[in-house]
């Protein structure tokens, strides 16, 4: 009951609104099923009709109710579900004392008969049995001390709460020590258990039925709440066992899926079809196991368990798919490597002009065939189109890498291949028959042909030509290295600069370059140095063959044999030093005869001529030896001077000696030096 003055209606503090808000907050902590009556007594009523005042007060109370914070379960609850709002009015005691006393008497009677039908306490849902009065009284006093106010819950609710709580604890203890439950829990820990949900549900139902029998006379709301509490507590203790059952089911189902998938793949069925079929069977079996393990008291969402199993199945499928794809890719890469490596090496070794054209045709044919077969094999894996296209593209890149790797490997052995090609062309004819150097062959033409073949081989290995783009590598190599070198006329006509004085080729990307121009020049120099001996050997064989064909001895041997006779000729052959001495004596005698004009000396007599010659012979020889010694210490003559025959040197020395001797030993009747020189000049002319 709340008293308020009539003129304070609508005000905040004067109308006791904070107090009413506090009353709502305290009473709402209980939410008893019994309604509470709010009796508003208006003092000193004015002429305003009571209906208008009642409507204004109820609107204010409704606003206060809406502003009060409520529990989530009763957030939308109406005021009428918990409170009965009644309004009465009392006249002014000073102005209308008799009417006031009469109205107070009527209000007193309402309190006297509050439990009568329609009275202030007509709602009897909160009554308790007499047997629970002692407990109710104790609880009332306990609440008074805890809350420090007199806003008490209903006695029936308190008694039902305490008693049902005791029964819940009793039943929970019995369940935890139940023999059937302990055996079931032990069986679950050791392995899968059939009909787990049925057996556990029977045990739970027995204890819930016992609870219902013992609490049937208590408050229904409290009894139901405590029953849910008992059920929740028992399920809480059984949840680990239920999780173990699901884990066993999960493991068994996953292992069966893995086994079924392996057998299906062994039977040569498609990968995607096998995965789909085995996954459907595994999920169906798992759902059946969940239904067998389910307890009807639990409303659980099985989707999370299914999703977990699907994740593990998908992870296993991904691992198997990746392994299969890696194996499939490795097989096709090996097939491509076997199909390309050997033929590419053979085509590069041939060194023909169409080698790269043949390699391109081989590369495209084998790559397309492998790509088509690989795409067909990938179709059974049900891959995304992007992933499938990317894998096919990787296979094509592998094919190109095989050709590039083999090309670079052969380019590293280009010098060896060039020498092999050169020796093959040089030593064998067009019919691959060994050459016999008879002396009639054009060795220069054969050597040029062999070097041209080696040079073409180097041009083939100089760059990778898988893109079918023209280049001038062969022409540049032939012009710069074979047609007279970098200063040749052909090079000056076709190239305005040295084509090999660069680190890159024209119209060839650095990525496709195997041998740079500078490296080609260095390799060619080394190649020529290592093949010169073979050419020289061929020339020597030709010369030997020519000599072997001429069976007659030289003409000088025939003449010498006719002059000397057989015995003297054989003596000189066995003793070649005598022949050398005779030759030197002849040369010296002939030179002296020409330079001294011996015939002029004998005109004055034989004896005087011999004496003159003997007297001049020793000085002439000494001058001749001195001139030779001086020449050995002089500077080296040019190559043309060194090639002059020894006779010219002897003649020049004799001329010098003659001039000196003419000055020293000229006879009175001999001609003057100038006339002698003139006569010699005349004789020579």
User: Would you state the pLDDT for residue 223?
Assistant: 87
Residue 210 CB contacts under 8 Å (≥ 6 apart), including other chains? 171
Give the whole-number percent of the chain exceeding pLDDT 70: 79
Greatest mean pLDDT among 58-62, 319-323, 495-499 lies in: 319-323
pLDDT at 492 over 80: no
Rounded mean pLDDT, 232-259 = 90
What is the rounded average pLDDT of the residues 150-163?
Answer: 64
Average pLDDT taken over every residue of the chain = 78
Spatial contact of 519 and 467, defined as CB atoms under 8 Å apart: no
Tokens standing for residue 126: 């909160």
How confident is the model over 15-28, as pLDDT tens digits? 567 777 767 766 66
- Asked whether residue 685 carries a pLDDT value surpassing 60, the answer given is no
For residue 670, what pLDDT is reported?
Answer: 40
- Structure confidence at residue 441 (pLDDT): 82
Lowest mean pLDDT among 265-269, 379-383, 400-404, 552-556: 552-556
Q: In the predicted model, what is the mean pLDDT of residues 553-567? A: 75
Indicate if the pLDDT at residue 684 is higher than 50: no
CB of 366 within 8 A of CB of 336? yes
- With tokens 């709002």, the residue in question is 85
At residue 494, does pLDDT exceed 60? Answer: no
The domain locations on the chain are 2-125, 155-246, 252-310, 325-408, 414-548, 566-633+643-684
Segment 338-350 mean pLDDT:
92
Q: Within 13 Å and on the Cβ side, how many CA atoms surround 331?
A: 10
Q: 12 vs 494, which has greater pLDDT?
A: 12
| Nearest alpha-carbon partner for 88 in 180, 190, 4 | 4
pLDDT at 650 over 80: no
Helix axes of 555-564 and 566-574: crossing angle, nearest 10 degrees:
120
Residue 639: count other Cβ atoms within 10 Å of its Cβ: 7
324: which residues sit within 8 A by CB, 6+ positions away?
A: 265, 271, 381
The proportion of the chain whose per-residue pLDDT surpasses 90, expressed as a percent, equals: 25
Question: Would you give the distance in Å from CA 470 to the centre of its chain?
Answer: 34
**Are residues 235 and 295 in contact, defined by beta-carbon separation less than 8 angstroms?**
yes
Q: Is the pLDDT of residue 266 over 70?
A: yes
pLDDT exceeds 80 at position 128: no
Q: Which segment of 65-79, 256-270, 449-463 scores lowest on mean pLDDT?
A: 65-79
Is this prediction's pTM over 0.75? no
Is 456 buried (19+), middle (13-18) or exposed (0-12) by CB count in 10 A? buried
Residues 427-443 have a mean pLDDT of: 83
> What does the alpha-carbon distance between residue 565 and residue 567 come to, in Å, rounded to a whole number?
6
Q: What is the mean pLDDT of residues 489-518?
A: 76
Q: Tell me which DSSP letter residue 193 carries.
A: -
Helix, strand and coil content of the chain, in percent to the nearest 5, comes to 70, 5, 25
Answer for the pair 514, 461: CB distance below 8 angstroms, yes or no: yes
Lowest mean pLDDT of 201-210, 483-492, 518-527, name the range: 483-492
Per-range mean pLDDT, top range of 86-95, 334-343, 630-639: 334-343
Residue that wins the pLDDT comparison between 374 and 611:
374
């Amino acid at each position: 009951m709340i008293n308020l003055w009539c003129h304070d209606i609508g005000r905040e503090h004067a109308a006791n609104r904070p107090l009413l808000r506090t009353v709502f907050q305290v009473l709402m902590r209980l939410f008893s099923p019994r309604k509470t009556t709010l009796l508003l007594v208006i003092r000193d009523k004015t002429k305003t009709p009571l209906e208008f005042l009642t409507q204004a007060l109820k609107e204010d109370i409704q606003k206060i109710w809406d502003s009060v914070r409520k529990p989530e379960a009763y957030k939308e609850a109406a005021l009428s579900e918990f409170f009965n709002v009644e309004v009465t009015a009392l006249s002014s005691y000073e102005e209308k004392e008799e009417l006031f006393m009469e109205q107070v008497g009527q209000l007193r009677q309402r309190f006297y008969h509050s439990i009568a039908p329609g009275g202030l306490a007509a709602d009897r849902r909160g009554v308790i049995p007499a047997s629970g009065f002692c407990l109710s009284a104790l609880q009332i006093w306990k609440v008074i001390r805890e809350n420090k106010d007199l806003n008490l819950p209903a006695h029936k609710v308190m008694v039902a709460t305490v008693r049902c709580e005791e029964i819940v604890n009793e039943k929970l203890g019995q369940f935890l020590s139940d023999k059937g439950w302990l055996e079931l829990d032990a069986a679950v820990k050791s392995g899968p258990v059939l009909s787990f949900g049925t057996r556990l549900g029977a045990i739970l139902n027995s204890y819930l039925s016992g609870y219902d029998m013992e609490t049937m006379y208590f408050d229904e709301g409290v009894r139901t709440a405590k029953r849910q509490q008992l059920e929740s507590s028992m399920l809480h203790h059984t949840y680990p066992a239920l999780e173990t059952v699901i884990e066993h089911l999960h493991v068994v189902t996953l292992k069966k899926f893995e086994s079924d998938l392996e057998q299906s793949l062994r039977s040569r069925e498609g990968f995607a079809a096998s995965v789909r079929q085995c996954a459907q069977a595994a999920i169906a079996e798992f759902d059946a196991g969940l239904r067998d393990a389910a307890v009807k008291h639990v409303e659980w969402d099985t989707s999370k368990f299914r999703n977990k199993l699907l994740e593990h199945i998908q992870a296993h499928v991904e691992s198997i798919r990746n392994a299969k794809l890696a194996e499939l890719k490795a097989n096709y890469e090996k097939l491509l490597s076997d199909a390309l490596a050997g033929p590419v090496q053979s085509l590069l070794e041939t060194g023909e002009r169409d080698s790269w054209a043949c390699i391109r045709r081989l590369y495209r044919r084998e790559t397309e065939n492998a790509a088509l077969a690989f795409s067909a094999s990938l179709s059974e894996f049900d891959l995304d189109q992007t992933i499938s296209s990317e894998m096919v593209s990787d296979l094509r890149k592998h094919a190109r890498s095989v050709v590039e790797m083999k090309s670079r490997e052969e380019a590293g052995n280009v010098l060896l291949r060039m020498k092999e090609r050169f020796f093959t062309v040089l030593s064998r004819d067009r019919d691959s028959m060994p050459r016999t150097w008879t002396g009639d062959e054009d060795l220069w033409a054969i050597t040029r042909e062999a070097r041209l073949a080696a040079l073409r081989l180097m041009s083939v290995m100089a760059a990778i030509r898988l893109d079918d783009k023209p280049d001038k590598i062969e022409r540049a190599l032939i012009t710069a290295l074979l047609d007279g070198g970098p200063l040749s006329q052909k090079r000056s006509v076709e190239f305005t600069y040295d084509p090999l004085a660069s680190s890159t080729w024209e119209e060839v990307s650095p990525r496709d370059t195997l041998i740079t121009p500078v490296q080609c020049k260095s390799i060619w120099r080394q190649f020529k140095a290592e093949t010169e001996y073979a050419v020289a050997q061929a020339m020597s064989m030709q010369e030997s063959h020519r000599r072997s064909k001429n069976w007659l001895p030289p003409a000088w041997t025939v003449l010498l044999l006719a002059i000397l006779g057989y015995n003297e000729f054989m003596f000189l052959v066995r003793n070649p030093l005598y022949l050398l001495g005779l030759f030197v004596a002849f040369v010296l005698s002939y030179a002296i005869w020409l330079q001294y004009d011996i015939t002029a000396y004998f005109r004055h007599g034989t004896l005087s001529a011999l004496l003159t010659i003997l007297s001049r012979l020793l000085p002439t020889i000494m001058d001749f030896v001195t001139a030779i010694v001086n020449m050995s210490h002089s500077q080296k003559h040019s190559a043309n001077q060194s090639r002059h025959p020894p006779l010219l040197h002897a003649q020049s020395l004799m001329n010098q000696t003659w001039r000196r001797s003419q000055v020293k030993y000229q006879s009175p009747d001999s001609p003057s030096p100038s006339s002698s020189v003139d006569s010699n000049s005349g004789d020579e002319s």
